[in-house]
Amino acid sequence: MALRGDVVSQQTPGDMNIRRAALTLGKRARAELKGQKPLILWMTGLSGSGKSTIADRVEDKLWRCGYHTMLLDGDNLRFGLNRDLTFTDSDRIENVRRTAEVARLMLDAGLIVICSLISPFRRERMLARQLVGEDEFVELFVDTPLDECIRRDPKGLYARALAGEIPNFTGLTSSYEPPDAPEIHLRTDRHDVDTLAEQVLGELQRRGAIARSR
């Protein structure tokens, strides 16, 4: 069982006197006990595009197949870990950075981690990807036209933003950079939630990341 600790990132800490502790167990060992390949599923898209709804359905389906998962929802993280952050560009960048670091820790725990957050900028999504191995990061674009998000407005936020009550609102007064080449492209204006969640599991299976029957 004693797989050694995995190779870890070489990023230097702020304080140069800190040395990394050598751990006996690593990601592979922890994941092997769970019988799965750890993975980050990173869902990006406009507010109201359907990230949380699809992420929730995907996690439920994975759980039913016997996978060990965790769902990091951007809104929920803002109640705790990210409660000090606003929606300025610099705070959005920090929001994504922290979420990506937490996702990496959970990846090291051997989990399939679903991250559901607007993450509007390509550069930060790229940095999140670079924190982990190339085959461990799957970007999912929850693609919903802005007009449809405004029509759905599940949290009433677009109405308030359009009335000028919410500054820095993605898609209106703050920019959103869609992914150029997401691994999975989810068109919510064409398919329902269950079909999209099945699309995700199907693509993960096709990539060899999961097996449907375990």
Q: Is 116 annotated as a binding residue?
A: no
Find how far residue 117's CA is from the centre of its chain. Answer: 6
Query: Which of the residues 9, 90, 116, 119 is marked catalytic?
Result: 119
Neighbours of 48 (CB within 10 A): 26
99 scored as a contact of ligand ADP (CB under 6 A): no
48 scored as a contact of ligand ADP (CB under 6 A): yes
The identity of residue 163, as a single letter, is: A
Tell me how many residues contact ligand ADP (CB under 6 A).
Answer: 18
Query: Toward ligand ADP, which CB reaches closer, 150 or 209?
Result: 150
171 scored as a contact of ligand ADP (CB under 6 A): no
Which range in 15-23, 89-97, 176-184, 189-197 contacts ligand ADP by CB under 6 A? 189-197
Give dist(CA 140, CA 118) in Å, integer. Answer: 11
Paired tokens of 119: 């993450």
51 scored as a contact of ligand ADP (CB under 6 A): yes
In the window 27-46, what residues touch ligand ADP (CB under 6 A)? Answer: 45
Give dist(CA 83, CA 94) in Å, integer. Answer: 12
Nearest distance in Å: CB 169, ligand ADP: 12
Give dist(CA 129, CA 138) in Å, integer. Answer: 8
CB 127 within 8 A of CB 104: no
- Of 190, 184, 207, 189, which is closest to residue 58 (Cα–Cα)? 184
Q: Is 116 a catalytic residue?
A: no
Q: Is 46 annotated as a binding residue?
A: yes
Instruction: Choose, by CB under 6 A, the member of 97, 129, 152, 185 that binds ligand ADP.
Output: 152
47 scored as a contact of ligand ADP (CB under 6 A): yes
52 scored as a contact of ligand ADP (CB under 6 A): yes
116-129 burial code (b ≥16 CB/10 A, e <16)? bbbbbbeebbeebb
Query: Toward ligand ADP, which CB reaches closer, 31 or 142?
Result: 142
| 177 Cβ neighbours under 8 A, 6+ residues apart | 120, 121, 122
Instruction: Choose, by CB under 6 A, the member of 20, 35, 154, 167 that binds ligand ADP.
Output: 154
User: Given the rule CB under 6 A, which residues bind ligand ADP?
Assistant: 45, 47-54, 116, 142, 152, 154, 188, 191-193, 196
Catalytic residue annotation: 119
